Structure 1
Amino acid sequence: MPQASPKTPMRPLLRSLSRSRSPRRRVPPVAPPPWALSVEARCEEPCDEASSRGSGGCLQTSLKAASPQCHVAAESAPLAITRASRMSDVPETRGRFLAEAASLLVSSGADLAAMDEDGHCALLLAAMQPGAGAAVRRLLAAGADANQCDGRGACPLSWAAALNGDPDVVASLLDGGADPNLSDEDGVTPLSAASMSGRCEVVRLLLKAGANADPSGDTLGSRAGSALSLADSNGHQEVVQLLLEAARDQTRH
C-alpha cells in the first residue's frame, strides 16, 4: 500500500486499502448456492509455494456446485471473488482463479450487482487484484456496471488505480465504460488515486481516456487535493510532468 506523506490526507479510499484487500471473515456453515466455490488442493506442499515455482499440476482448482459440507462455500458474488483472490499470492495464478470464478458466476446467473457489507460488488473486488484483467472483462461482458461504486462512492477504476496499478485491469475497465472522472464522496478520482501512488502507466491510460488533468478544473476540491498536488507531495515527479503536459494540452483545446 502506498504511503502518503504527512502533507497528504489519507482519504477513506486509501485508508481502507489494506483491510479491503482480503477481509478475513469466518463463514458459518450454510447450504451454498449452485455457483458456490469449491477448491481442492491435490498436493502435500504449500499451494502458493508450488504455484510460485510454476507447478501447474500441483493445485487443482474446481469451480463446481458444492454440497453443504464443502469446506469453502461462497454466499454471494462478492465473497466468491474474495475467496478466489486468496488462492495464491502469485498474480498470474490468482488471475486465473479469478477468471474461473467470474465465468462460473456469470454462467450460473449470479447477481453481479450484489454487494458485501462494505458496499463492494464482484467487479470492484476483482479490480483490486493484480492480474485480474480476464475476470474483469468477463464480468463486464456479462453486464456488470463499470461504474458501480462502493458505500463511499469509490468506483472500481479508482480502486484499481490506487491498489494494484495493473494496466490491463485499468484498460479493461475503461474499455467497459468506466468514467475516468468519477469521484467519490471526498473527491478522489481514478487519476488522483493513480497519481498519489505514482503509477505512471495507469496515469497515461487515464489521461488518454479523458481524465481531467487541469488543477483549475479539478473536481477534487480542498478535501483531497488535485491529482497534481498529490503526485507532487508524494514525490512522484514523473507523474507530475505527465500531468503538467496533459494540463497544457487540455487547456489548449
Structure 2
Amino acid sequence: MNTPFDLTGRTAVVTGARRGIGLAMAEALARAGADIVGVSARLEPHGSEVERRVRAAGRRFTALRADLADRAAVRQLADDLTAAGPPDILVNNGGTIARAPAVEHPDESWDHIIEVNLTSQFVLSREIGRLMVDRGYGKIIFTASLLSFQGGVNVAGYAASKSGLAGLTRALANEWATYGVNVNAIAPGYIATENTRALRDDPDRNQAILTRIPAGRWGQADDIGGATVFLASAASDYVNGIVLPVDGGWLGR
C-alpha cells in the first residue's frame, strides 16, 4: 500500500551525490522508491558507492559529471537533464567551503564559493524549475546550513552563500507554489563529514560543539535522509519556503 512518503515512479537528481550528505540523501530517496541521477564533478561513470547503494535498494541509477564552479558545465547539465525528461525531484546539495579569517579571505575563494553554493544552484533550479512549473508538479530541495541562520567563524563566504540559499528558497517558493512546485531547504547541523573534519580534529572546538548540541553527538549523514524523503514526497505538498533544521537541537539551545 502506498504511503504519502512513497516515491515509486519518481526520478530524483542529487548534486554532490558522491559522498557525505549527498550520498545519504540519494540512498534515502532510493529506499523510498525513487530512481536516482547522481551528479558530482568526480563521480565515477560506473561502480561508485552511490550507485552501489541505489542499486541495492532496487532502483535505477545514472551518473553525470558536472563541475558546479563552471557556469557552462551547469548549463550543459540542465540541458542533459531536460533532454532526459524533467526530473520530479531536484536536490541541490553540491557545495564547498573555505576557512579563513575575513581579513585574509581572498577574492578567488569568495567567487568560487558563491558560484558553487549559490549561483549554480539558482541556474540549475531556474532551468529545471521552468519545466516543473509547466508540468504543474515538482520538488526542489536545497542543502542550506546552520549558517543560513548564524554567522559562523572564519567562513564569511560560506555563511553568505548559505544565507543566500535561504532567501532563494523563499523567493522561488513564493513564485512557484501556485504551480504545484514545492521549494524548501534542509539545514544540516554539525554532521560528521569531510567538510567538518577540521572541527572534529580540534579537541577544543569539538568539545565546544558537542556541549552545545542537546542530542549530545555529532550528526551522521544518514540523519538527513528522513527530512529529504519528507520534502521530496507528497507528505510535504503544503510545505513551501521553509528551511528545516536537522541539527540535534542546536538552534533551539
Question: TM > 0.5 between the two?
Answer: no
| Larger Rg over CA atoms | 1
Q: Which has the higher contact order (CA 8 A, sep 6+)?
A: 2
Which structure dedicates a bigger proportion of its chain to strand? 2
